[in-house]
Structure 1
Amino acid sequence: MSQVTTITFFKYHTLRNKIWAFGMMQFAHVALSEVKGLQDYKLMGSGKDGFNPFADWSVYVLLQIWENEEEANVFFEESELMKRYLKKATERCSLFLKNIKAKGEWSGINPFVKSDSITENNPYIAVITRATIKLSLLYKFWKYVPTSQKSLENNKGLMFTKGIGEVPFLQMATFSIWKDKESLMQFAYGSKEHVQAIEKTKKLNWYSEELFSRFQPYKSIGTWEAMGELPF
């Protein structure tokens, strides 16, 4: 079986559980480093809606890259760490992803391997973009974000999106789910605002590191109100 990526969203309501979740950004590393079949992982927080760089203290994310789906299933079904997360969280959704294409680097490497089992009759596309922004360009970058993301408002092809990342303001990422490749391409190259953002990125060179990766989402565990009823 080929490499599989999972991304899990956790939501917390009480202040006590939010503090616990924030602490796990540090304390979960020991347990995760011992998980069988886990090739790489990222513990991330999230930003407020609309790609606001300020933290959303109620939502945290665990991105994991597995040798195969079997190892991922064992973790979600049997892991004591996952049981601890689920006990504290009020919402949880884990999405299983097969990599279609990945370009760039994340922490010095490209961790995603192209899957050899993409399904032709599954049109859905998930996208992860990740970048480290140069300190000298932080203000210019975040000032421009609302303009570059304007075409996402009421976009019928977009099923879900959330700003995530390891370090607020500096190391940012986005995760999105699209109805099909055509919807994604229309946003990426048919949106005036996004095309201008691409041109501005090339001109200003405001990333010290960046990665863009497309996936085929094919399985989900749990629910997430903002995602609605997922078709996979």
Structure 2
Amino acid sequence: MSQVTTLTFFRYLNLKGKIWAFGTMQFANSPLSKVSGLQMYKLMGSGKEGFNPLPDWSVYALLQIWENEAFADAFFDSSPLIKRYLKKSDERWTVYMKNSMAKGEWSGKNPFLKSDSLEAANPFIAVITRATIKPGMLFRFWKYVPTSQKPLGKNTGLLFTKGIGEVPVLQMATFSIWRDKESLMNFAYSSKEHQKAIQKTRQLNWYKEELFSRFQPYRSIGTWMGENLLPHLTYE
């Protein structure tokens, strides 16, 4: 059985829940460090819509990389920590994914291993991009972000996207799910704004560390904003 990555989003609607969620960014580290089969995890907050650097206090994310699916299932089925998350949050959505490509580093290493069990009949693609921005480049980077992301709203093949990160403003990541490879390639290579962003990245060298990775999402649990975003991949 090969490595599996899960990304879980939690949404909190009331102040009490939001305060609890903020606290888990620190207090969940101890129980997570003891979870069997968990190779790496990242507790992350999120940004407001449109990749705004200001925090969205209602949404938090938990990224986990597992030795295999069985360890992931055991955590989501019986972990006291996940049960607390589910009790405190108003909505939860978990995506199981197999890595298809990753380049770069996250916290000094590339944690993702390419899966040996990708399914040819599954067209969906998930993308995680993550970077640590050089402090001297923060203003120029965030000033250009709205322009570079503008074409996303025009792409009908984009099923979901959200800005997430470990440290507000300084460490950012984006997660997106696409209907198929064609939709992703259309954004990556047909968007003038995106191409210009790539050029600026090379010219200005505004990242201290960066990673780009693609996945095949193959299982979806829960809903987001009341919607089942991947109904073809949903089963309990």
Once the two structures are TM-superposed, the CA of residue 225 in structure 1 deviates from its matched residue by 2.1
Matches of 1:57 and 1:226 in 2, distance apart?
A: 18
Q: Give the structure 2 partner of residue 145 of structure 1.
A: 145
Corresponding residue SS for 2:169: coil
Corresponding residue SS for 1:225: coil
Q: Does residue 90 in structure 1 map to residue 90 in structure 2?
A: yes
Q: Does residue 30 in structure 1 map to residue 30 in structure 2?
A: yes
Matches of 1:85 and 1:215 in 2, distance apart?
A: 25
- Within-5 A mapping of 1:57-68: 57-68=57-68
Cα distance per residue 1:21-68 (max 9 Å; x no partner):
000000000000000000000000000000001000000000000000
Matches of 2:225 and 2:217 in 1, distance apart?
A: 18
Corresponding residue SS for 2:188: helix
- Within-5 A mapping of 1:26-175: 26-175=26-175
Matches of 1:88 and 1:131 in 2, distance apart?
A: 30
Matches of 2:172 and 2:117 in 1, distance apart?
A: 29
Once the two structures are TM-superposed, the CA of residue 153 in structure 1 deviates from its matched residue by 1.2
Q: Which amino acid aligns with 1:87?
A: K
> Which aligned runs of 4 or more in structure 1 are off by greater than 6 angstroms?
none
Matches of 1:38 and 1:227 in 2, distance apart?
A: 29
Alignment check: 8 A CA contact 1:102 1:110 kept: yes
Once the two structures are TM-superposed, the CA of residue 221 in structure 1 deviates from its matched residue by 1.1
Alignment check: 8 A CA contact 2:104 2:211 kept: yes
Matches of 1:226 and 1:145 in 2, distance apart?
A: 28
Matches of 1:197 and 1:229 in 2, distance apart?
A: 28
Structure 1 runs not aligned, ≥5 long: none
Alignment check: 8 A CA contact 1:130 1:212 kept: yes
Cα distance per residue 1:203-223 (max 9 Å; x no partner):
000000000000000001111
Structure 2 runs not aligned, ≥5 long: none
Matches of 2:185 and 2:203 in 1, distance apart?
A: 22
Q: Which amino acid aligns with 2:132?
A: T
Once the two structures are TM-superposed, the CA of residue 78 in structure 1 deviates from its matched residue by 0.2
Q: Which amino acid aligns with 2:222?
A: G
Once the two structures are TM-superposed, the CA of residue 229 in structure 1 deviates from its matched residue by 3.5
- Within-5 A mapping of 1:210-221: 210-221=210-221
Alignment check: 8 A CA contact 2:222 2:228 kept: no
Matches of 1:151 and 1:208 in 2, distance apart?
A: 26
* TM-score relative to the length of structure 1: 0.99
Alignment check: 8 A CA contact 1:45 1:61 kept: yes
Corresponding residue SS for 1:47: strand
Q: Give the structure 1 partner of residue 177 of structure 2.
A: 177
Q: Which amino acid aligns with 2:9?
A: F
Once the two structures are TM-superposed, the CA of residue 227 in structure 1 deviates from its matched residue by 5.7
Alignment check: 8 A CA contact 2:104 2:210 kept: yes
Once the two structures are TM-superposed, the CA of residue 163 in structure 1 deviates from its matched residue by 0.2
Q: Which amino acid aligns with 1:75?
A: F
Matches of 1:13 and 1:159 in 2, distance apart?
A: 23
Cα distance per residue 1:103-155 (max 9 Å; x no partner):
00000000000000000000000000000000001000000001100100131
Q: Give the structure 2 partner of residue 223 of structure 1.
A: 223
State the aligned residue count.
Answer: 232
Q: Residues 180 and 128 from structure 1, CA distance in 2 versus in 1: closer, same or farther, beyond 3 angstroms?
A: same
